[in-house]
């Protein structure tokens, strides 16, 4: 088996991105690192294939990033991670916003193919219906972030959404909540599917009733969280706990709770996915599942750069990063 860029990186004691930078010659790399990389390239007999060479020779040296909602701070931080890693390797980044719209997403992927972008980082609008074949036909590698594609084997970076939703639900149960509602994301996304499954798993494990009337699907937007929460509060028996599946819907939920003058956490214990920087100023402080957003982006770019240099040398990988349940005052009912 021929050596891959990862083999060279390991032997030289550097990252695959550093190997890529040395081979591309687009940005300065410390002389000692460059020497070590070139020595290992020679010793291991590493030879990029023709497609990799053609990709590196493209004049644009551009990575495309197609995300579902540019207004979401989750994606803002993630894109910064992509950009920083890409810049180190001599690549530029072009950002597109799909708005969870399959047609819009398709058009952006067609543009990426037509412009012969070196690679694409994608947050798919649908786990089953997003189609990246136009990129694959042009030999353009893809890495998905936050969400996965069911039918297409490509590299992906994400957290364990099932586990984190289960842990957040278990936390609410431990606070004495018995009617925990869930504002879920779109059914079409693996993120929405896995978080809902984790919530249900926690309830079943605790012997609690899984009441589908306490689940509202929404669109990962502020207005979706607002409307879903109002509908839950209008039930004859209100929930005493609420888990929300992303930060923008959490903002909408908080607006609805404030409008109805619900006291957190005395009347309802609240938790959500994804922190927002300004939320630290809120009182009560929020309980959130905090994702390593910048690192998701940085590692997505690193995987993509490896794939650009060695398109056939590495099997598709799923990288699962650790997230953290940060407990704030919004869910704490016990000392």
Percentage, residues of the chain above pLDDT 70: 91
The reply to whether 155 and 167 lie within a common domain is: no
Domain containing residue 31 = 5-47
What global pTM score does this model have?
0.81
Quick check: 54 pLDDT over 70? no
- 218 closest CA partner among 186, 246, 188: 186
- Residue 35 belongs to some domain of the structure: yes
- Would you place residue 117 in the very low, low, confident or very high pLDDT band (cuts 50, 70, 90)? very high
| pLDDT value of residue 152 | 87
**Is residue 120 domain-shared with residue 268, that is, in the same domain?**
no
Q: What is the CATH number of the domain that holds 283?
A: 3.40.50.2300
Count of CB atoms situated within 10 Å of the CB of 58? 13
Q: Residue 76 domain-assigned?
A: yes
- Tens digits of residue pLDDT in 224-252: 999 999 999 999 899 999 999 999 999 99
Strand partners, 181: 242
The reported pLDDT for the residue numbered 281 is: 67
Same domain, 37 and 108: no
Does residue 169 sit in the same domain as residue 250?
A: yes
What's the pLDDT at 305?
A: 93
CA-based nearest residue to 185, from 159, 223, 216, 211: 216
Is 245 part of any domain?
A: yes
Same domain, 229 and 110: no
Check whether residue 200 and residue 282 sit in a common domain.
Answer: yes
**pLDDT of the residue at 56:** 47
How many domains are contained in the chain?
Answer: 3
DSSP string, 197-221: HHHHHHHHHTT----GGGEEE--SS
């Amino acid at each position: 088996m021929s050596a891959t860029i990862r083999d060279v990186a390991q032997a030289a004691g550097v990252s695959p991105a550093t190997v890529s930078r040395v081979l591309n010659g687009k940005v300065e790399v410390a002389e000692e690192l460059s020497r070590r990389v070139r020595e290992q390239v020679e010793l291991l007999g590493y030879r990029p294939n023709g497609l990799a060479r053609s990709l590196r020779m493209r004049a644009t040296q551009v990575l495309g990033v197609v995300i579902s909602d540019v207004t979401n701070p989750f994606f803002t931080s993630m894109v910064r991670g992509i950009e920083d890693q890409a810049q180190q390797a001599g690549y530029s980044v072009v950002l597109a916003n799909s708005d969870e719209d399959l047609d819009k997403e398709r058009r952006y992927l067609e543009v990426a193919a037509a412009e012969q972008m070196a690679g694409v980082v994608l947050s798919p609008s649908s786990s089953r219906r997003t189609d990246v074949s136009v990129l694959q036909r042009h030999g353009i590698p893809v890495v998905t972030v936050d969400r996965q594609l069911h039918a297409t084997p490509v590299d992906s970076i994400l957290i364990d959404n099932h586990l984190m939703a289960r842990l957040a639900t278990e936390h609410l149960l431990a606070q004495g909540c018995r009617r925990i509602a869930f504002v879920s994301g779109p059914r079409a996304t693996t993120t929405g599917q896995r978080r809902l499954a984790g919530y249900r798993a926690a309830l079943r494990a605790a012997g609690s009733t899984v009441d589908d009337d306490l689940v509202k699907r929404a669109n990962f937007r502020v207005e979706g969280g607002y409307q879903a929460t109002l509908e839950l509060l209008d039930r004859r028996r209100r929930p005493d706990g609420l888990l929300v599946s992303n930060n923008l819907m959490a903002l909408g939920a908080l607006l609805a709770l404030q409008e109805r003058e619900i006291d957190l956490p005395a009347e309802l214990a609240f938790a959500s996915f994804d922190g927002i920087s300004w939320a630290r100023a809120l009182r009560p402080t929020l309980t959130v599942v905090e994702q390593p957003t910048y690192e998701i982006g940085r590692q997505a770019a690193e995987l993509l750069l490896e794939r650009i240099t060695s398109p056939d040398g590495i099997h598709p990988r799923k990288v699962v990063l650790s997230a953290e349940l940060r407990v704030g005052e919004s869910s704490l009912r016990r000392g």
